[in-house]
């Protein structure tokens, strides 16, 4: 089975980019070198690889990527920092809306 990982990059402007790949190192290199001039990260380099998921089956990885892309900046930051208590609080605040 071809496993995938979800990753979050921190861009030079402070924004986050979330993606999914089967080779995080290669994909980060592509982002960092500006291989695709039309990509979100191209004009926001240098980049930091801030978070990487465990390997998972493709359907789960794509589902997680879509979920993370909808998260607030605060929730992504809590995930990156490993601040799971804040992540739970932020999730409950969003759930009450």
Yes or no: say if 40 and 24 are a contact pair by the CB < 8 Å rule.
no
The pLDDT of 12-28, averaged and rounded, is: 98
Yes or no: say if 16 and 40 are a contact pair by the CB < 8 Å rule.
no
Percent of the chain with pLDDT over 70: 95
pLDDT surpassing 60 at residue 97: no
pLDDT surpassing 70 at residue 96: no
The 10s digit of each residue's pLDDT in 21-67 is: 999 999 999 999 999 999 999 999 999 999 999 999 999 999 999 99
Domains of the chain: 5-70 (3.40.1440.10)
């Amino acid at each position: 089975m071809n496993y995938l990982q979800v990753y979050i990059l921190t861009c030079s402007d402070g924004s986050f980019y979330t993606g999914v790949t089967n080779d995080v190192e290669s994909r980060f290199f592509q982002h960092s070198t500006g291989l695709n001039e039309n990509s979100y990260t191209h004009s926001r380099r240098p980049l930091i690889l801030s978070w990487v998921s465990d390997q998972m089956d493709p359907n789960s990885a794509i589902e997680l990527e879509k979920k993370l892309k909808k998260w607030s900046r605060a929730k992504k930051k809590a995930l990156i920092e490993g601040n799971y208590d804040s992540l739970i609080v932020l999730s409950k605040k969003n759930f009450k809306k």
